[in-house]
């Protein structure tokens, strides 16, 4: 995957993600903050540029030093193509599957992709669902053509190892 460093590329990505709200809202919001000075020191990766299919946002490797901290080791994922997403997650340089971690995303089918890759890597996952509610005013401001009010969100974390 390609690490986006250029402010112009990150702004272009933000505009593209805005068009895919509500499915992209987790990644969109994070990329928005990266473009506002990157207060959480995150990295933004895409599978290809400029015609990306999958975006992964994660902390910098040096910030993910505690292998038992799923809150620091948090990834946000958005993909227009779940097969592309699966290929990206299988890559050893995208996600450190040896750590306790969270993967957050909002699209249907993402849970199955994560489960499949985790199973291939012999990693146990615990899935939890959350609901995201967007009121119509918010939707009209960010994506006028979208009229979806609620979507399901998933968080994946590796259970703690038995001591």
Following DSSP, what letter does each residue of 54-108 receive, concatenated? EEEEEE-GGG---TT-TTTSEEEEEES-HHHHHHHHHSTTT--TTS--EEEE-ST
DSSP structural state of residue 84: H
Q: What is the pLDDT of residue 156?
A: 45
Q: How far is CA 122 from the centre of its chain?
A: 21
Q: What is the pLDDT of residue 92?
A: 77
Q: Where do the domains of the chain lie? A: 2-157
Coil, strand, or helix at residue 133?
Answer: strand
More confident residue, 23 or 159: 23
Q: What is the mean pLDDT of residues 24-33?
A: 96
Does the structure show a pLDDT above 70 at 31? yes
CA 112 – CA 51 distance, rounded (Å): 24
Residue 36 binned pLDDT confidence (cut-offs 50, 70, 90): very high
Range of lowest pLDDT (10-19, 23-32, 64-73, 147-156): 147-156
Q: What is the pLDDT of residue 146?
A: 39
- pLDDT tens by residue, 96-139: 998 999 998 878 889 899 999 999 999 988 888 766 666 666 55
Q: What is the pLDDT of residue 91?
A: 85
What's the topology of domain 2-157?
Aminopeptidase (3.40.630)
Q: What is the mean pLDDT of residues 15-41?
A: 95
* Cis-peptide, bond into residue 50, ω within 30° of zero: yes
Q: What is the mean pLDDT of residues 68-91?
A: 92
- The answer to whether 126 and 157 have CB atoms below 8 angstroms apart is yes
Nearest by Cα to 14 from 43, 41, 35: 35
């Amino acid at each position: 995957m390609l690490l986006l460093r250029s402010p112009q590329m990150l702004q272009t990505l933000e505009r593209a993600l805005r068009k895919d709200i509500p499915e992209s809202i987790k990644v969109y919001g994070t990329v928005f903050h990266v473009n506002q000075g990157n207060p959480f020191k995150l990295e933004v990766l895409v599978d290809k540029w400029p015609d990306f299919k999958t975006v992964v946002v994660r902390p910098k490797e040096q910030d993910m030093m505690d292998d038992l901290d799923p809150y620091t080791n948090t990834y946000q994922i958005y993909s227009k193509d779940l097969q592309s997403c699966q290929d990206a997650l299988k890559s050893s340089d995208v996600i450190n599957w040896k750590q306790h971690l969270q993967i957050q995303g909002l699209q249907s089918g993402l849970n199955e992709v994560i489960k499949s890759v985790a199973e291939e890597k012999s990693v146990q996952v615990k899935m939890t669902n959350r609901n995201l509610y967007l009121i119509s005013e918010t939707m009209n401001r960010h994506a006028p053509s979208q009229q979806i009010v609620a979507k399901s969100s998933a968080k994946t974390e590796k259970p703690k190892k038995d001591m």
